[in-house]
């Protein structure tokens, strides 16, 4: 009866850990496609790019004239006494006054051209921030996907260990029936199986949590149950530190966007200098005036006139309390601050890529060691199974070898995940994460 309960518990663990509900196959490429489509930050930055693209025009910079059309309609009724009699003179006046006016700034110290350059730089900057959002999302999805794969592979290791413990427990029960095993050995394998079962169930929780984290970075609001289809594998690549530093300086999107901000501040300096020049503008238009007087007695009369005008205006600020000088100096200082921030960003990125490259090299070595260790532990486990069946080793020694294999397999998986995570960060920092997808 006890053996039946243990076997039933094994089946519950095995089938309970493998979701019986329909799961949607999900490759890494599928996860990337869904995540890029749903990510909220990418949607926001995309709208900001649209705004910047709309602003990047000569019209927004003030290169074109402003034309206004208007109509004024005035109606008046008068009731006034006559000087020659006691009668009163009553009449109504209707005045129609349509007009068209053109205002055009011909010269404003090159600020129109500078504004156009600034709008273009702002557009490029918005596109840069969108690219940063895409890169960060890609990194989160890739790391999240492999985190889920890591937990899934750990579950497979726990499943193998649990199944091995279950098989050995069944074997020891049969040997006890034949008088070839004692109760102590039975209890030893029973405890081992139950302990492995608890570890398996706990690992299943870790898998579910990792899938939920992946759904979060994918912005999957429906919480779709996924079955990850990609293999948990990685092709080790060799990186040269000099090449990585060169790519950071030329391809890193954070640094490139900061350089665009530096250009925007330089445009601000040029814009402040435009106040040193005169402002030349033209004001032209046409007015039409029509006036109709309708008295109570007598005939009505109408008069009208039409005016055309074209005026040229030149203005120059001679003195305004040194405000122009202060504005120019402040713009220069802000430009220097932005330039210093760019240098700081570049220094920080170079320092980070150096540290990351060193970590990558160490993790490659660590993975190679854990790979060899796992192969050795697996071979040792196979030999231990044969020796235990022949009675050469005790249940204690077999259990120790079993746990050595479990720890070695999990250590290899963890080292592989750390290697993938570091490589993903290297790829993002050197501007290659988008092109690799």
Domain boundaries, the chain: 2-65+109-277+321-429
Spatial distance between the Cα atoms of 127 and 436, rounded to a whole number of angstroms: 19
pLDDT of residue 173: 86
* CA proximity to 404, closest of 431, 376, 429, 362: 376
Spatial separation of the C-alpha atoms in residues 115 and 14, rounded to whole Å: 67
Please state, in angstroms and rounded to a whole number, the distance separating the CA atoms of residues 149 and 14.
18
- How far is residue 135's CA from residue 426's CA, in Å, rounded to a whole number? 12
Beta-carbon count within 10 A of 157 CB: 21
Burial string for 111-124 (b: 16+ CB within 10 Å, else e) reads bbbbbbbbbbbbbb
CA distance 206 to 220: 19
Low-confidence ranges of the chain (pLDDT < 50): 1, 4-5, 8-9, 11, 15, 17, 20
How big is the CA angle at 33 (ends 32 and 36), to the nearest 5 degrees?
Answer: 80
CATH architecture of 2-65+109-277+321-429: Up-down Bundle (1.20)
Tell the residue number behind the tokens 């496609």, with chain if given. Answer: 33
Taking the C-alpha atoms of residue 325 and residue 300, their distance in angstroms, rounded to an integer, is 63
How is residue 20 written in tokens?
Answer: 């019986």
Q: pLDDT tens for residues 116-141?
A: 999 999 999 999 999 999 999 999 99
Q: Identify whether the C-beta of residue 228 lies closer than 8 Å to the C-beta of residue 150.
A: no
CA distance 174 to 163: 17
The residues with which 293 forms a beta bridge, in sequence order, are 93, 301
Q: Which long-range contacts (CB under 8 A, 24 or more apart) does 292-300 make?
A: 292/93, 292/94, 292/95, 293/91, 293/92, 293/93, 294/91, 294/92, 294/93, 294/94, 295/89, 295/90, 295/91, 296/89, 296/90, 296/91
Residue 149, number of CB atoms within 10 A of its CB: 24
| Stated pTM of the model | 0.85
């Amino acid at each position: 009866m006890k053996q039946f309960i243990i076997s039933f518990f094994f089946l519950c663990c095995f089938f309970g850990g493998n979701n019986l509900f329909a799961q949607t196959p999900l490759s890494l490429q599928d996860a990337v496609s869904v995540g890029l489509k749903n990510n909220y930050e990418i949607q926001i930055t995309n709208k900001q790019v649209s705004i910047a693209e709309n602003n990047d025009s000569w019209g927004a910079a003030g290169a074109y004239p402003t034309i206004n059309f208007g109509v004024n309609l005035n109606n008046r009724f008068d009731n006034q006494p006559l000087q020659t009699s006691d009668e009163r003179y009553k009449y109504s006046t209707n005045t129609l006054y349509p007009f068209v006016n053109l205002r055009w700034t011909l010269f404003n110290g090159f600020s129109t051209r500078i504004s156009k350059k600034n709008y273009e730089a702002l557009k490029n900057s918005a596109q840069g921030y969108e690219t940063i959002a895409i890169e960060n999302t890609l990194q989160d999805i890739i790391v999240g996907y492999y985190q889920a794969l890591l937990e899934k592979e750990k579950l497979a290791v726990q499943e193998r260990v649990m199944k091995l413990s279950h098989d050995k427990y069944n074997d020891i029960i049969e040997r006890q029936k034949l008088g070839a095993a004692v109760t102590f050995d039975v209890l030893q394998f029973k405890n081992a199986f139950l302990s492995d079962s608890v570890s398996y169930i706990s690992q299943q929780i870790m898998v579910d949590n990792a899938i939920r984290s992946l759904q979060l970075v994918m912005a999957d609001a429906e919480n779709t149950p996924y079955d990850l289809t990609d293999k948990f594998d990685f092709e080790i690549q060799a990186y040269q530190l000099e090449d990585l530093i060169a790519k950071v300086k030329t391809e890193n999107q954070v640094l490139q966007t900061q350089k665009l901000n530096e250009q925007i501040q330089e445009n601000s300096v040029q814009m402040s200098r435009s106040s040193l020049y005169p402002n030349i503008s033209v004001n032209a238009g046409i007015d039409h005036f029509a006036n109709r007087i309708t008295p109570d007695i007598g005939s009505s009369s109408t008069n009208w006139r039409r005016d055309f005008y074209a005026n040229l205006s030149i203005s120059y600020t001679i003195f305004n309390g040194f405000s122009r000088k202060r504005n120019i100096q402040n713009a220069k200082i802000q430009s220097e601050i932005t330039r210093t921030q760019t240098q700081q960003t570049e220094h920080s990125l170079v320092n980070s890529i150096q540290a990351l490259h060193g970590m990558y090299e160490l993790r490659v070595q660590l993975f190679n060691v854990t790979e060899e260790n796992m192969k050795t532990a697996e071979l040792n486990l196979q030999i231990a199974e044969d020796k235990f069946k022949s009675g050469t080793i005790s249940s204690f020694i077999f259990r120790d070898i079993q746990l050595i294999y479990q720890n070695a397999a999990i250590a290899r998986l963890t080292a592989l995940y750390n290697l993938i995570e570091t490589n993903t960060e290297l790829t993002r920092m050197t501007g290659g994460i988008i092109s690799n997808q």
